[in-house]
Structure 1
């Protein structure tokens, strides 16, 4: 019985999301254009992460194992 109630609660909570496009609340405006920008960004522009926020993945595979060079600063503690 608890599982049914938990499942029903989860489904109701998942159904709360809005499927319409994003737009500012009534009487509100989008943020002003950033300094140096030529246009005000759209909601889609504001929600798209920059490459710095989500960098691309490097799929380069290490083909040969290589010996590490010595580290002059790897000293024992005093």
Structure 2
């Protein structure tokens, strides 16, 4: 279904693999853990939905919980806009 939405012109963004609770988990996560959440979900979108990796540019943090500079570093280093 996600692949069909993308084919119809909808933007598909990354969100996380686990959407972990509690919310505070996201503020305490280190860069390695954040990278796993971000990049593994992007890989799922590429492999399972057939979305080209260069089309996945957006990220929405679970619960809109900021994860500090480590999150922004991971996103920047992996070409998210």
| TM-score, L = length of structure 1 | 0.20
Larger CA Rg, structure 1 vs 2: 1
Q: TM-score, normalised by structure 2?
A: 0.20
